[in-house]
Amino acid sequence: MESVLSVIAAIAASLFAFDLWRGYRLRPRPHVAAYATGMTMFAVATWALFIGVTFAWTGPIYRTFYLFGAVLNILFLALGSMFLVVGKRSGHVMTLAVGGFTAIAATLTLTVPFQQPLPDGGVPTDMFEAGFGPRLFAIIGGATGATILIVLALISLVRFWKKDRSIVWGNALILAGTMAAAWGGTGLALGEASGFALSLLIAVTLIWAGYRVASGRRRSGRQLQT
């Protein structure tokens, strides 16, 4: 089941990432670039998950899966919302913070040794020791990104409730998808991976649906808000 869910999520995330990058190429905007980067991370993580649960886990595959699926993806979605809702100045400040976080998290995730051998099947948990390491950064990244997205979604809701309900409902779907991804990533960091593949599939589906709902009137000049 995990293999089936992960390949479906990987295909959906890849198509969504392609859609976002195509939109960025046609009209370059920093929030679209951040969203596209976050969704590309979703795609990479879910393909790594599919390879791991279907064939066999290796060190590089698991580290790629953990870094992009449990540590970084939510923060980059939050960065996109920061650019869009608050503005470029705040977005650039957050970019510096996210860049520093990414450098440290990537270094730790790619170099910290495993405390036990990789299992033959399923989604590995507790591969890294607790403390200052990948598990801590997964919790920080997920919690911080989700908090930023919740606050900005509420701001956006107040701003657009009377102006355009499609943006409000789109925001609600995007927020629900992000929370599903944060739940899965935090659970993985805490050693619970039974629903991780399902959480990624739900997250990608809801975020993509929210993007489509909120940007459904692009032809009339409206922009996606989150």
Structure-token pair, residue 36: 């596209």
In this predicted model, what pLDDT tens digit does every residue of 168-209 receive, in sequence order? 777 778 778 877 776 666 555 554 555 667 777 788 888 878
Structure-token pair, residue 82: 């920061």
Between CA 69 and CA 75, with CA 73 as vertex, the angle to 5 degrees is 140
In this predicted model, what pLDDT tens digit does every residue of 201-213 receive, in sequence order? 788 888 878 777 7
CB neighbours of 93 closer than 8 A, spacing ≥ 6?
A: none
- Residue 195's CB is within 10 A of a number of other CB atoms, namely 17
Cα 90 to Cα 81, 96, 214, distances in angstroms: 10, 10, 23
CB neighbour class for 125 (10 Å; exposed up to 12, middle 13-18, buried from 19):
middle
* Rounded Cα gap, residues 93 and 192, in angstroms: 33
In this predicted model, what pLDDT tens digit does every residue of 113-139 receive, in sequence order? 998 888 877 778 778 887 888 989 988
pLDDT for the residue numbered 170:
72
Q: Which domains, and CATH codes, for the chain?
A: 2-220 (1.20.1070.10)
List strand residue ranges (DSSP E) for 26-146, in order. none
